[in-house]
Amino acid sequence: MKVYNGEGLILGRLAGIVAKDVLQGEDVTVVNCEKIVISGKKPNVVENERAKRLRKGYPLKAAKFSRLPDRAARRTIRGMLPWKSARGQEAFKHVMCYVGVPAEYQGKDLITVKEASYKKLPNLKYITLGDVCKSLGGKL
């Protein structure tokens, strides 16, 4: 079982790494999901997320997007998996995301990925996933 610390990591890069581990049969947990980073200017990122949620046809069949940071991170990981195959759906069951660090993971070693750090961005313009969800009306 791998436990990743999402603090200061870029969302897409972390999701790709987690998806690869899950497809290899690991159980993966991501903690501190509210501190995961999305790169880009703050107003642009928020507006893109708001537009994505407003883009729908028939409301009862449209895609549902959560405003909670842990659910949004889990949904992004799902996008990196082959979701329409049985293998991808089975792998997705082995992914869990949490806001903060739960009591059961307090003493464990948390994995931080250097390749996914926000410090590797060419310009340091970013916003955290918690702030994006809060600006869209989510409760943290």
**E strands within the chain?**
2-5, 28-31, 37-39, 95-97, 126-128
Is residue 8 within 8 A of residue 38, CB to CB? The reply is: no
Q: Quick count: other Cβ atoms within 10 Å of Cβ 7?
A: 18
Percent of the chain topping pLDDT 70: 100
Is residue 128 within 8 A of residue 34, CB to CB? The reply is: yes
- What is the DSSP pairing of strand 95-97 with strand 28-31? parallel
Question: Topology of domain 2-135, per CATH?
Answer: Ribosomal Protein L13p; Chain: A; (3.90.1180)
CA distance 20 to 24: 6
Chain-centroid distance, C-alpha 27: 16
CA distance 16 to 78: 10
The tens digit of pLDDT for each residue in 68-94 reads 999 999 999 999 999 999 999 999 999
The tens digit of pLDDT for each residue in 40-78 reads 999 999 999 999 888 888 878 887 788 999 999 999 999
On whether the pTM is more than 0.75, the answer is yes
Q: Return the closest-CA partner of residue 33 out of 118, 126, 98.
A: 98
